[in-house]
Amino acid sequence: MAKKRPIVDMDNLFSSANQVYQLSESEEKIQELTAEIERLRQTPDASELETELERLRDQLVQGGGIREILVAQIEPNPDQPRQTFTAESIEGIAASLERFGQLQPAIVMEAADKFLLFDGERRWRGARQLGWKTLQVVVIPSKSELHREALLTSLHREDLNPLDKAEAILKELNENTQLEPEQIIRELGSVMRRLSKQGKLAQLTELVSTSTQTQAQGLDTLKLSENERTLLLELLKLQLNPASVSANIFPMVSLWDDLKQAMRDSGLKGFQAVALNQLSPKNLNVTSKKAANIRAKATAQVLAENLSVAKTRQRVKQILLDHQPEKPAPKSNRAIATATKTLDKLSSEILSSASPEQLEQLQQRLRDKLEEISRAISER
């Protein structure tokens, strides 16, 4: 059971069927507030956004009221962009709930005989860990475009796992463009390389914080294919920099599965995972199973020693060097060995007894051979 609840007279709030009916009468107001929250989620100033969100959340609570419903009736949102909930994170939330009580209600949507989480999954998981039977929530109307709403809610939060962000963006682009994820990644990478060569990336970046109409007009000047224009416009609508998404976010999708798991379960950072991803069977010249063992050992070291990205890269580089096959020793060349011995036999006595013509002839031959030897060395 939730402990240390805020001072709220729950008897006068929406805890009965009749009160639920009253809640539905506030739906229009709640919709307006929810829409305003989503609009603010898209503003670039995160600190100002969070302050404003707190104010609006309070209004939402006042307009819709707080309900206390069974934790067992609440289910996570399958379209929630955040899929990473580390044990450490949930333990922290649980400790806060146990000590201070639930200071902020979760936001849920009614769906048939259950409630779907819109915001507050970590509070819900923490409550379950504590064995609480109920949780305080405010209920908002069901959303037909749940993924987009949840994506906009989470996308610009700094603590969103980059792997979760990559998969959520791909899902959103897939639904809006009908392009397969692999094609999305390929086409975005292709157009980013072309615009970079043309010196037009800055022009594209300037469109991120402009209106949708300005973004569409700006893209018209870049001579894009239909697919490219659609992809870039969808990313700009989400206020995402397409170049950054291509270079920093989408590479998370192609990580080895064990590294993705480490990001979700153990808090491995995105750039650390990208560095460790180089430990492939091909680069290590070993079997897939052995490469996975090497990655697991290296990942454990990175996490245990909390290595920076730079030190992680150094560690990966050293592991790759340690697994490079030794170069075969050069075969001995009998002709070279014989010529060397012959030169050694040319003592000062022999040279002093030779005629000047013979010495000049020998000197020229040696000069010619020295030039050939220098060329042979420089070509290696």
Beta strands in 93-245 (DSSP E): 106-111, 114-119, 134-140
pLDDT of residue 10: 33
Report the amino acid identity of residue 254.
Answer: S
**pLDDT category of residue 19 using cuts at 50, 70 and 90:** very low
Residue 188 in tokens: 């975005």
More confident site: 82 or 93: 93
Please state, as a whole number, how many other Cβ atoms lie within 10 Å of the Cβ of residue 293: 13
Gap between the Cα atoms of 225 and 83, Å rounded: 33
pLDDT of residue 7: 35
pLDDT digits (tens, 9 = 90+) for 86-122: 888 888 888 989 888 888 888 888 777 788 888 888 8
Gap between the Cα atoms of 64 and 34, Å rounded: 11
CA-based nearest residue to 190, from 150, 241, 227, 239: 227
Contacts 24+ apart (CB under 8 A), 213-218: none
* Bridge partner list, 201: none
Q: Tell the residue number behind the tokens 């709403």, with chain if given.
A: 149
| Averaged pLDDT for residues 58-75 | 77
**pLDDT category of residue 144 using cuts at 50, 70 and 90:** low
Gap between the Cα atoms of 307 and 288, Å rounded: 25
CA-based nearest residue to 259, from 187, 221, 312, 337: 312
CA-based nearest residue to 40, from 239, 332, 308: 239
pTM of structure: 0.54
Q: Quick check: 151 pLDDT over 70?
A: no
Q: Quick check: 48 pLDDT over 60?
A: no
Q: Quick check: 195 pLDDT over 50?
A: yes
**Dihedral, 198, 200, 202, 208 alpha carbons, nearest 10:** -140
| Averaged pLDDT for residues 63-79 | 81
Cβ(102)–Cβ(123) under 8 Å? yes
How far out from the chain centre does Cα 360 lie? 71
pLDDT digits (tens, 9 = 90+) for 351-362: 888 888 888 888
pLDDT of residue 318: 95
Query: Exposed, middle or buried, 183 (CB in 10 Å: 0-12/13-18/19+)?
Result: middle
Rounded to whole angstroms, what are the CA distances from 4 to 98, 102, 319, 355, 357? Answer: 8, 7, 52, 111, 110
Continuous H helices in 252-333: 257-266, 270-276, 281-284, 288-304, 309-322
pLDDT of residue 200: 92
Three-state DSSP at 6 gives: coil
| Averaged pLDDT for residues 236-254 | 91
Cβ(208)–Cβ(122) under 8 Å? no
| Averaged pLDDT for residues 15-34 | 45
